[in-house]
Structure 1
Amino acid sequence: MLNQPGGATGALVWQLANRWRTAVDRAVSVHGLTHATYVVLTTLYSLRATAHPDAETGPPSQRAIADASGMEPMYVSRLVRSLESDGLVVRTRDERDTRVVRLELTDDGLEVARPAMRTVQALLDELLAPLGGRSSDRTRQFVDTLAELLDTPLDPGATDA
């Protein structure tokens, strides 16, 4: 099956995703995180860092974290509650729309996120070495291909809404 073009594509994507998730889980465990909590924490870090300082909307919403990370909103909610109980994030209700939950990193959250990101960057150097490293042309092509696949609807007649 591995010799058939496309025949093992799904299996290989699944195996690679699981291998990388496991590697990240192990790497960030020293920071008290799992791969999933790392993704939520660093997505919040990234969204907060790229937010316009004059934005009227305030801190990123829980839904924005779900959308940016590709995780299910209910799963993100559960992870955020865990991060909040660990003192890494603070949840607040939006003043204009109480259905919206806004998230902010605490000082402790920043102290965990920054070294965890350095740990994962070092891991990515190792994981992407076969392609020439994080900044190689092969890696950029790989990322572009993955992004293209992720942007393609699973049901050609459906749209992501």
Structure 2
Amino acid sequence: MRYLPALIVDAVLVLVFAAIGRASHQEDPAGFLLTAWPFLVALLVGYAVALLLPARPRRPWSLAWGAVVWVVTVAGGMLLRVLSGDTAEVPFIVVASIVLGLFLVGWRGLAALVRRLRASSDRSSASAPQTRPSAAAFPAAVPEPGAAATRAPEASAADDPAEAPESRDPDPA
């Protein structure tokens, strides 16, 4: 099952390749499956070849795996196109090789770059000294629980009825 996510990404990219090719020639984009099927079959064969190689690449997201799948997909797709009565002219072979190479090997290269950057940032953060700020660096905005209860309330003029403004009458008459 570890091969399935990479296979799905590859299959989607082959479908995108076929849809772009159909649209660039003002052909019906809905017929992209007619263009894609030989390459999809060859893609499955490419996965089988990568699995069966004696010194095979072990991970389907590795660059070596992508290179094997790319070569088999292009060669097998062209062969199936010719055997099914379609054409495989030199410009199409060149464009298909370049685009499928960028797609099938390219996403693996980006994934390797992301993994490498993530690993180097993990190593640098692990080697950096971990310091925690002291509690004094962040003064408490709210008093600690119970602190307000222990403090004596301050007296104010409003607390003394004799000093309250309502109890004084400025005009005693």
Tell me the TM-score normalized by structure 1: 0.29
Normalized per residue, the structure richer in helix is 2
Higher gyration radius (CA):
2
